[in-house]
């Protein structure tokens, strides 16, 4: 990578984005706000809970069986198994995304924590990793993911690219390189190298390949950072190259792409965008509809036997990745709007057990699924994921001819409608209840930002 002083002063917006970002990522970060510190704390608690609990899921078990265990290697959390750093990042990423319960972010439409946390823990397994270093590494990775999202979306996502496997993989490389304390050139090389492996498709949603793509992204981040640490490098202009990332996977407008990186260090993207934490283990695009169904229950709809039709209005780009009506597997169920709505209406909640237990086979739920029609609409502003002016709208009609309607602008867990700290921590306890872990270990994890070495507080989780 270039050491040209002209690339270091940030004055030339046409210098490669990778060099500009690496200069930012290798330096001192702006002090986070208290709100950002809280978001970071919850991201690691929630993300690690998804990893440790997801290790028992079938897809995670299958993934681990494909790799050779390594004595004294990196833990597969929630198990007693250890693997190479690359493989551990892979299997922990798969576990964390196995039941669609992990957080996500809006500009990139990716699942950042479940990619970056396994990657950083694996990359820095051989060194002391303080809470401060983990926090800084996460912030660097999130900055890359969010700015790539602003630079490319939604064209990139709408073309069928799974941004957790593309954008978040690059963020994981940046985060891992920061955790390894690589210099500016090392961070730039890690980012460049990661782009040779960052790929995934939304057409895999509803199959076991989706959590595997999250695992691939985590493994890409570790591998790219370790290769850069070993002195290997790549094309610094790979984002803007005529046959590079933006030209092939994006919209091709390099001026627009570069503009998303113009105010590095001046605006903290984690502070600006926050995270969406999930109260339900299903695709985030089902959550406004779920909340609408729960709203109707709270208003008195407890007897579903008189329902004659269910209609749900959702943006067309949400409906496009929710193709399943009557699911046949748990993976399909997490991407089935009719099933998730039926669960909420009949059960008053949407819990992991309903997917594992094939809840769609319940006669009343099956009846409601058959009565449900998904009605996509073309949003006026397709660049906004949750437009408050165009909420999801649920219309439930009954045999006596009347209908009940609920509209939800922001789902529970979005920054505009946040989950409380108590609810996030309660979710963690529910997720990890099956693990033989002490209350003291839970409290140490909850206090991870203050730790001198996070590896020490995770020993009881392996």
pLDDT of residue 1: 44
Per-residue CA distances from 446 to 38, 353, 381, 441 (Å) = 11, 25, 39, 9
- Helix then strand then coil, in percent of the chain rounded to 5, is 50, 10, 40
Which sign does the torsion angle of CA 215, 220, 221, 222 carry? positive
- Segment 245-251 shows an average pLDDT of 96
Q: Is the pLDDT of residue 90 over 60?
A: yes
> How does residue 390 score in pLDDT terms, banded at 50, 70 and 90?
very high
Q: Is 113 exposed, middle or buried (0-12, 13-18, 19+ CB in 10 A)?
A: buried
- For the chain, the domains span 5-273, 284-408
If DSSP codes are grouped into helix, strand and coil, which group holds residue 362?
coil
Q: Is the pLDDT of residue 27 over 50?
A: yes
Which sign does the torsion angle of CA 55, 57, 61, 63 carry? negative
Q: What is the CATH number of domain 284-408?
A: 3.30.1330.120
List of residues 6+ apart from 92 with CB closer than 8 A: 51, 55, 76, 77, 117, 118, 121, 122, 215, 218
Q: What is residue 11's DSSP assignment?
A: -
Give the count of beta carbons closer than 10 Å to the beta carbon of residue 285: 24
Q: What is residue 275's DSSP assignment?
A: -
Cα 459 to chain centroid, rounded: 25
pLDDT of residue 349: 96
Superfamily name with CATH number, domain 5-273: 2-methylcitrate dehydratase PrpD (1.10.4100.10)
The pLDDT tens digits for 99-158 are 999 999 999 999 999 999 999 999 999 999 999 999 999 999 999 999 999 999 889 999
Does the pTM surpass 0.75? The reply is: yes
Nearest-CA neighbor of 246 among 341, 152, 383? Answer: 152
Q: What are phi and psi of 429, to 5 degrees?
A: -65, -40
- Segment 394-399 shows an average pLDDT of 97
Give the count of beta carbons closer than 10 Å to the beta carbon of residue 256: 14
- Segment 389-405 shows an average pLDDT of 97
> How does residue 13 score in pLDDT terms, banded at 50, 70 and 90?
low
pLDDT of residue 221: 98
Q: Which helix (H) or strand (E) holds 385?
A: none
Per-residue CA distances from 12 to 5, 16, 215, 217, 455 (Å) = 11, 9, 36, 31, 41
Q: Is 266 exposed, middle or buried (0-12, 13-18, 19+ CB in 10 A)?
A: exposed
Lowest-confidence region among 10-19, 69-78, 151-160: 10-19
Q: Is the pLDDT of residue 56 over 70?
A: yes
pLDDT of residue 12: 57
Q: Is the pLDDT of residue 246 over 50?
A: yes
């Amino acid at each position: 990578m270039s050491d040209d002083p002209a690339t270091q002063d940030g004055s030339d917006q046409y210098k490669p984005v990778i060099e500009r970002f690496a200069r930012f990522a290798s330096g001192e970060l702006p002090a986070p706000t208290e709100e950002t510190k809280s978001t970071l704390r919850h991201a690691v608690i929630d993300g690690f809970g998804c990893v440790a609990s997801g290790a028992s899921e079938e897809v995670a078990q299958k993934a681990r069986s494909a790799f050779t265990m390594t004595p004294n290697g990196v833990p597969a959390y929630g198990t007693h198994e250890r693997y190479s750093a690359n493989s551990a990042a892979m299997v922990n990423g798969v576990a964390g995304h196995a039941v669609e319960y992990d957080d996500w972010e809006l500009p990139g439409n990716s699942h950042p924590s479940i990619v970056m946390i396994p990657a950083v823990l694996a990359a820095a397994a051989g060194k002391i990793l303080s809470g401060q270093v983990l926090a800084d590494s996460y912030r660097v990775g999130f900055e890359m993911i969010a700015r790539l999202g602003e630079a490319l979306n939604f064209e990139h996502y709408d073309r069928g690219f799974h941004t957790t496997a593309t954008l978040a993989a690059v963020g994981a490389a940046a985060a891992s390189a920061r955790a390894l304390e690589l210099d500016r050139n090392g961070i730039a090389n890690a980012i460049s190298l990661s782009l040779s492996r960052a790929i995934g498709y939304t057409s895999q949603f509803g199959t076991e390949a989706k959590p595997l793509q999250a695992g691939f992204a985590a493994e890409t981040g570790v591998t790219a950072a370790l290769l850069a640490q070993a002195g290997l490098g790549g094309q610094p202009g790979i984002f803007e190259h005529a046959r590079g990332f933006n030209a092939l996977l994006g919209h091709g407008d390099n001026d627009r792409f570069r503009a998303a990186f113009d105010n590095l260090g001046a605006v903290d993207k984690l502070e600006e965008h926050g995270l969406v934490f999930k109260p339900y283990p299903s695709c985030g695009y089902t959550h406004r509809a779920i909340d609408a169904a729960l709203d109707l229950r709270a208003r008195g709809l407890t007897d579903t036997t008189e329902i004659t039709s269910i209609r749900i209005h959702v943006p067309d780009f949400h409906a496009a990745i929710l193709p399943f009506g009557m699911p046949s597997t748990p993976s399909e169920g997490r991407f089935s709007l009719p099933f998730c709505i039926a669960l909420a209406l009949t059960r008053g909640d949407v819990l992991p057990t309903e997917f594992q237990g094939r809840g769609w086979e319940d006669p009343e739920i099956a009846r409601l699924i058959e009565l449900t029609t998904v009605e996509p609409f073309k949003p006026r502003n397709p660049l906004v994921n949750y437009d408050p002016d165009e909420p999801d709208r649920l219309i439930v009609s009954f045999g006596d001819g009347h209908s009940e309607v609920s509209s939800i602008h922001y789902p529970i867990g979005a920054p505009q409608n946040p989950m409380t700290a108590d609810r996030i921590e309660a979710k963690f306890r529910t997720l990890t209840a099956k693990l033989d872990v002490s209350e003291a270990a839970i409290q140490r994890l909850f206090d991870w930002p203050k730790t001198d070495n996070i590896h020490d507080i995770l020993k009881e989780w392996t």
